[in-house]
Amino acid sequence: MSSRDAVLASIRAHLPKPERVEPLVPMFDDDPPADLLAAFGQVLERMGGVLLTPDATDALAPVRAMLKDAKVVCSRVPEIEGNKPIGPETKSTDLADVDYGIVRAAFGVAETGSVCLTETELGVNTLGYLPQHLIVLLDPADIVPNIHHAYQHSEFRKAHYTVLQTGPSATADIEGVLIHGAQGVRSLSVLPLPRR
């Protein structure tokens, strides 16, 4: 052991070890919304997204209507078939021609209108950004009231890539003109649909 290592080891061995209890961080859920889906939808729409209404006879009818003229559809959900597959050999740039990307969110956040996407849901991380339009299926039972609850989910500890996406990409110039799709998807639509 070098003299440097010996000195550092001695310092570490003699560091004070006070017993400190971690502070309790409140979940700020004293007054959660009565209807998490409605609260989620209101914020999503405020952020430029669209909450689709499932059809009573065919829950996926709103999605099928959006896809009727699409040329390239990349679907990561079994409910909708796409024509651009994703596999282990898919490069991030291979998705640049996608008109519609379809994924299922790990969960949603009512407070921010966000959906949580990880590499598991996306397959290739750029599926959340390169398509012109993104359609997200979200189980209403997977909506949490706020960010404090969201960060309790395992995705933030286990996934290599986790993002909370809220609405489509947007930017505004100095004159206040809002442009959607400047750095990402031009539209983000969420369909409330229970998991199979």
**Could you tell me the two tokens for 20?**
């400190």
CA pseudo-torsion sign 7, 12, 13, 18:
positive
Tell me: pLDDT of 6 over 80. yes
CB under 8 Å to 117, separation ≥6 — which residues? Answer: 103, 105, 106, 128, 136, 162, 163, 165
User: 180 vs 67, which has greater pLDDT?
Assistant: 67
User: Rounded to an integer, what distance in angstroms lies between the CA atom of residue 179 and that of residue 181?
Assistant: 7
Tell me: pLDDT of 181 over 80. no
CATH code for the domain defined by 35-84+96-192: 3.40.50.10420
Nearest to 185 by CA among 119, 143, 122: 122
Q: Would you state the pLDDT for residue 21?
A: 86
CA pseudo-torsion sign 164, 165, 167, 169:
positive
pLDDT one-digit tens code per residue, 69-123: 999 999 999 999 999 999 999 999 999 999 999 999 999 999 999 999 999 999 9
* Own/partner pairs, 172-180, CB within 8 angstroms, 24+ separation: 180/48
In DSSP terms, 170 is beta-bridged to 180
Indicate the domain borders of the chain: 35-84+96-192
Q: Would you state the pLDDT for residue 140?
A: 98
The type of residue at 20 is: R
